[in-house]
Amino acid sequence: MSDDHHSHDHTELPSDLELKVKALESLLVEKGLVSEETLDTLIETYEHKVGPRNGAQVVAKAWAQPDFREWLLKDANAAIASLGFTGRQGEHMRVVENTTKVHNLVVCTLCSCYPWPVLGLPPVWYKSAPYRARAVSDPRGVLAEFGTHLDDGVEIQVWDSTAEMRYLVLPQQPAGTEGWPEDKLAEIVTRNSMIGVEEVCIDNDDNDEEAAS
Amino acid sequence: MRGSHDLGGLKGLGPISPEHESCEPVFHADWEKQVFALTMAVGFLGQWTLDESRHARERQTPEDYLRHSYYENWLVGLQTLLLEKGIVSEQELNTGNPDCDSPASDLSALQAKDVGEILLRGGPVEMATEKIPKFVPGDRVRVRHEVTPGHTRVPAYVRGRVGSIERHHGAHVFADRNALGHREGKHLYSIRFASREIWGEDTKPGEAFSVRVDLWEPHLEVL
């Protein structure tokens, strides 16, 4: 499930896999099918530009502006596009809201479907066999593994991304953050909370600072 | 039939063991970056659909699919399609060098300057259809047992199960046919299943939950 079995031999020699990928790349470049500059641009885009900070801005805005929240829940595509986060693997967005009664959890049991424009590429665990197997059969156990324990009576709703709809969880705004500016709210929104495996928490320092100001 | 990739409900796979969010890199090795970028760049040549590429990864044996890391599965999928579509030969793959007698390709590579725009544009799958949706929210439906041979997006754990239509998403490109290169729009619905309907007595009292799955009209039958 991980790449542990490939390269932990403590030598500097490239593994068979590395050689195979390098050979494929040079073949495709030589045949004129891909350009190295394009490959670099693709990597740069998803390594540094498109990631969960985008989604955090969406969530922060929804917390700060009730009109935006309403728009986001009704027409996620348009509301998210207004912030510029559109395109590949986010063509058909839906935002699902956590409340005191409902907790949402997103998975793709068949592969790794994930809303790229707002969250970037999925983490290893999201693509892993144990998560994909258990999110739909034992969501409470999955949440516990992330240290998330919901109150009794909270209904868990799991969203299996089996088509091209992509789901983003709107986590609950933590108590004590009302009135915070959007950029400060965005800082506390984690990627995991937007997948639904964690809730958003604030540490006490943040809270004290706000109380004192 | 259940594909190697269809993991919902499978037991015995062990803990998830997530890395901590704050210290998890996007890629864990340079070769992963290369496989990701090659798959994307070659995909933009337009020689296959997204569902064909999913199917190429899924067609491995369960042993291989589960043994491989994520990007190894991508690599297998990419190599499979490059060979099947005749874009590279077996010998070229093995040697990493173009065959002397291979004809010049008439495919033109995606240019770096066009990457931003093509990603922003994405590939919307909503389609116009004159057919009226067969179901409306609130309808109870059963997922068909018989599934499309080859690629399907119906997970095994909901086959034969009864759920209720929660939302009609419009007509979307039907993945099962798109995997064969046919672009057809079919009505897509979000369907709610109760955990007891899927897992029966496996769900402990007080721990009930629900699962929403997006399925197309041909997957569903009227109750």
The least confident of A14-18, A27-31, B67-71 is A14-18
CA angle A28, A39, B48 (to 5 degrees): 60
Residue B131 gets which letter from DSSP? S
Residue B167 gets which letter from DSSP? E
Q: What is the pLDDT of residue A105?
A: 98
Alpha helices, H only, chain B = 30-43, 50-58, 62-67, 70-84, 90-95, 112-121, 175-178, 195-199
Nearest to A21 among B31, B116, B120 (CB): B31
Better pLDDT: A14 or B131 = B131
| Domain covering B140-222 in this structure, CATH number | 2.30.30.50
Look at residue A208 and tell me whether its pLDDT is greater than 60. Answer: no
B209 to A128: CB separation less than 8 angstroms, yes or no: no
B210 to A140: CB separation less than 8 angstroms, yes or no: no
pLDDT confidence of A14, banded at 50, 70, 90? confident
Rg (CA), chain B: 21
Q: What is the pTM of this model?
A: 0.94
pLDDT mean over A160-187: 98
Each domain of chain B, given as residue ranges in start order, spans 21-121, 140-222
What fold is seen in the domain B21-121?
A: Cyclin A; domain 1 (1.10.472)
Which residues in chain B (104-143) have CB-CB distances under 8 A to chain A? 104-105, 107-112, 115-116, 119-126
pLDDT confidence of A8, banded at 50, 70, 90? very low
pLDDT confidence of A152, banded at 50, 70, 90? confident
Look at residue A6 and tell me whether its pLDDT is greater than 90. Answer: no
List, in sequence order, every beta strand (DSSP E) within A35-177.
92-97, 102-107, 155-160, 165-170
Percent of chain B with pLDDT over 90: 86
Domains present along chain A, CATH in parentheses: 12-48 (no CATH), 51-212 (3.90.330.10)
Contacting residues of B for A111, CB less than 8 Å apart: 5, 54, 57-58
pLDDT digits (tens, 9 = 90+) for A64-94: 999 999 999 999 999 999 999 999 999 999 9
